[in-house]
Structure formats: C-alpha cells, structure tokens
Amino acid sequence: MTATTAEASASARGAGGATVEFHRLYRRFGATVALDGLDLTARPGELLALLGPSGCGKTTALRMLAGFEHQDAGDVLVDGEDITRVPAHRRGAGMVFQSYSLFPHLTAAGNVAFGMRMRGAGKSERHRRAGELLDLVGLAGLADRYPHQMSGGQQQRVALARALALEPRVLLLDEPLSALDAKVRLTLREEIRRLQQELGITTLFVTHDQEEALSMADRVAVLRAGRLEQVAAPAELYARPATSFVAEFVGTMSRIPAVRTGNGAQVEVMGARLPVQGELPSYGELDALVRPEAVRVALDPRGGATVVAASFLGAITRVTVRLPDGTEVKADLPTETAAVLPPGSAVTLTLPERPVLVDHRVV
C-alpha cells in the first residue's frame, strides 16, 4: 500500500464502524408487503449480507437506511440515533448502486470529489482526496477518464471510491457486482472485502447470490417475504440452517422421505435412524433435508438406487442418484470416485449419523 493509500485508509477508518438497527420495520407497496416486521442489527465494523430471493425486501431495507424509502412503521437506528426523519443527503451513508451510477459528465476524479464538493471542501483538498481514494481502489492512473471510457468493473471501483469519499458511518452495497462478468465479479468481490476489513466500516451488502454472500460476509441475514429467517455466520448458516427455507436457499439440499420412529428425537431415513436437528413437526409426512456432501455413494450391483446423471464441477462431481421410490438425491463425490459411477450404475447410499433437518413433505 502506498503512503497516500494508507492515508486514505486511515482517513476513512476514522469514520469508524456504526451499529445499524432495524426495529420492526413494515413497508407495503399496494397489495405487496415488502417488509413485515423486520428486526435486524448490524454490528460495528462487520459486513452483513442481506440474502434472499427477489421481492424478499432486502433492497427495500437498504434503501430505507439510505433514506430513499420510508417505512410504514418501525425505526431505523444508527448508533442508537433514529434517522427516520433525517433526509437522504444528511444520512452519512455511502452507497454503491447496482447499475453504474457514476455521473456521466464528470471524470472519475470529479465523481469521487462530488460529495466533498457538496460539503464545501476546497478544490485542492478535493483533488488530493480523490487521488488518494482512486489509488486505494487501484485506479490511480484513470482519474481523468469519463465513465464511458471505463469498464463496468472500473466504474464500480470509482463508485466505491465515491462512496468512501464521504467517510460514511455505513457503507451500503446494493448488488454492486450483479452487472459484471464472472471474472471481474470474483476479483472485485475480494477487493471490496479487503477494503471493508481495512477500513473497519459497517457494511450492508444486498445480494441474491448465495455464493457471494457466504464468501464475503461476516454474517448473512436470510430474508423471506419481508421477514428475517435467520442471521448467522456463513459456516453456521450452512451447517445449521434454522429453517427448511434457509436450508434449501443456501447451498443445495436433497429431500429424502423420513419416517417417525416413536422417539421424538429421531427419524428413520433410508433405513438408518438419525437424530433430528431442531424440532420435529408434530404431524404429517416428513422429509429429511440432506446436503450433497453428506451423502456416501458406493457401487453395489444389488443396490436399489441408480445413478441417473453426473455434473463435472472440477475437483468434485455432483452425481444424481434415483432411489427405488423415485426420489432423486444429489451427492458430491471426488471426481476420481465419480468416474467409476457412470449413469446407469447400481449403487447404495448411506448417510452419516449426524443430526438432520426435518420438514413437512413437499409433494
């Protein structure tokens, strides 16, 4: 890191990380409920990803924090201060938008300096800070370029520098990578995470890409229909999903028919008795939710299951196996192992004796 970059980091870090709290937020658009009593807290300095399907309310919550939407009920607090009535231009939240939102008539440096100009900073100060911030995002030599002369990735870096120039208490990222191609997305993802950790700035990151959320965030909040389903660290979210929705939305899950055993803490899945994770539904038929990496597959000419498909994913291959009752189960196998299980092979499946999540059967 150069001296100016270090100065820019130190300056931005000076803003510190704030606590952000959403308290029972409600928002309705006509007949659609966007937020239905959302309760969520972002800790100082953490990167909290808001993850969920389209229409789950994640962007609405972010826009409320930025001041672009108002809530029908509830509070938005930053460091304990209710900012509901603070206009958007005084909230001190830097935002990076999904669409490249650079001002087309300004250069990269002009864009970064815009916020400082609004605050009345002098020309030399603006020029110096804009240079430092562009250096921080790796675009030191492109200060004089206009948005139309830059790639999508470069534009989003400038947008990030522009947001950081305000020394914001909170950084808001509204699907900033979704318009970029896969390679740039991966690189920029790491860059954003590095900068966020360096600056220690509280960051809310909206995405519908679970891989993005799991790889970048300190914690991930999964939203569904305007409500919080679960908020947890990525590893915990993956290993111990609180609900079947989280289990199926984050990562891949297979549903395998499960049978009650009379013991409320166990179910029988493919002939094996397994402990239940969480609560066992009190009525109805059940499915066990199983991750593909938990399934063991062995070649067995007398086995009742059949391999029906295989997808090469690099070091592993995802194999789809059909059980005698027609249920399809996915299993992740080392590619060398999968090589001896071509489609049509007869196999047997086993599950480790680990707690499984159980849900009502989906027909």
Partner 1 sequence: MAALTPPAGTAAQPAREAAGRRHRPRLWRGVVGLIAALYFLGPLLSSLLFTVDVPGQGFTLGSYSGILGAAGFWSSLRLTLELAAATIAVTMLLLVPALIAVRLTAPRLRVLVEVLCSLPLVVPAVALTAGISSVLQWGPDDFADTPLFQTFNTVQNPGFPVVLLLAYVLMALPLAYRTLDAGLRALDLTTLVEAARNCGASWPRAVLQVVLPNLRGALLNTGFLTLALVLGEYTVASILGYQPFAVWIVSIGGSNAQMSVSVSVLSLVLTWVLLLLLAAAGRGRSARPPRGTRTSPAAPAPTLQEKS
Interaction site with partner 1 (CB under 8 A)? 66-68, 87-90, 93-95, 97, 99, 101-107, 110, 114-115, 118-119, 138-142, 144-146, 148-151, 153-154, 162-163, 166, 181, 183-184, 187-188, 191
Answer for the pair 272, 351: CB distance below 8 angstroms, yes or no: yes
Q: Shortest Cβ distance from residue 175 to partner 1 (Å)? A: 13
The number of beta carbons lying within 10 Å of the beta carbon of residue 11 is: 17
Measured distance CA(51)–CA(55) in Å, rounded = 11
Q: For partner 1, which is the closer residue by CB, 95 or 237?
A: 95
Q: Shortest Cβ distance from residue 140 to partner 1 (Å)? A: 8
The number of beta carbons lying within 10 Å of the beta carbon of residue 109 is: 22
Answer for the pair 223, 249: CB distance below 8 angstroms, yes or no: no
| Token pair listed for 67 | 């001041």
Q: Shortest Cβ distance from residue 48 to partner 1 (Å)? A: 19
> Where is 124: in which H helix or E strand?
helix 123-136
- Give strand pairing partners of 212: none
CA dihedral 41, 47, 48, 49 (to 10 degrees): 170
For the chain, the farthest-separated pair of C-alpha atoms sits apart, in whole angstroms, at 80
Q: For partner 1, which is the closer residue by CB, 18 or 253?
A: 18
Measured distance CA(205)–CA(65) in Å, rounded = 12
Q: For partner 1, which is the closer residue by CB, 104 or 271?
A: 104
3-state SS assignment for residue 1: coil
Q: For partner 1, which is the closer residue by CB, 110 or 292?
A: 110
Q: Shortest Cβ distance from residue 155 to partner 1 (Å)? A: 11
Q: Shortest Cβ distance from residue 151 to partner 1 (Å)? A: 5
Q: For partner 1, which is the closer residue by CB, 201 or 231?
A: 201
Q: Shortest Cβ distance from residue 14 to partner 1 (Å)? A: 18
Q: For partner 1, which is the closer residue by CB, 153 or 234?
A: 153
Q: For partner 1, which is the closer residue by CB, 183 or 302?
A: 183
| Token pair listed for 362 | 């989906």
Cα–Cα distances in angstroms (integers) from residue 43 to residues 16, 17, 95, 163, in the given order: 12, 8, 18, 20
Q: Shortest Cβ distance from residue 115 to partner 1 (Å)? A: 4
Handedness of CA 268, 269, 271, 275 (dihedral sign): negative
Q: Shortest Cβ distance from residue 150 to partner 1 (Å)? A: 7
Pairing of the two strands 272-277 and 356-360: parallel
Measured distance CA(15)–CA(342) in Å, rounded = 57
Backbone angles phi, psi at 266, to 5 degrees: -135, 155
Handedness of CA 105, 121, 77, 137 (dihedral sign): positive
Q: Shortest Cβ distance from residue 103 to partner 1 (Å)? A: 5
Measured distance CA(269)–CA(258) in Å, rounded = 5
Measured distance CA(168)–CA(178) in Å, rounded = 23
Q: For partner 1, which is the closer residue by CB, 181 or 285?
A: 181
Q: For partner 1, which is the closer residue by CB, 107 or 277?
A: 107
Pairing of the two strands 305-312 and 296-299: unpaired
Q: For partner 1, which is the closer residue by CB, 145 or 227?
A: 145
Q: Shortest Cβ distance from residue 104 to partner 1 (Å)? A: 6
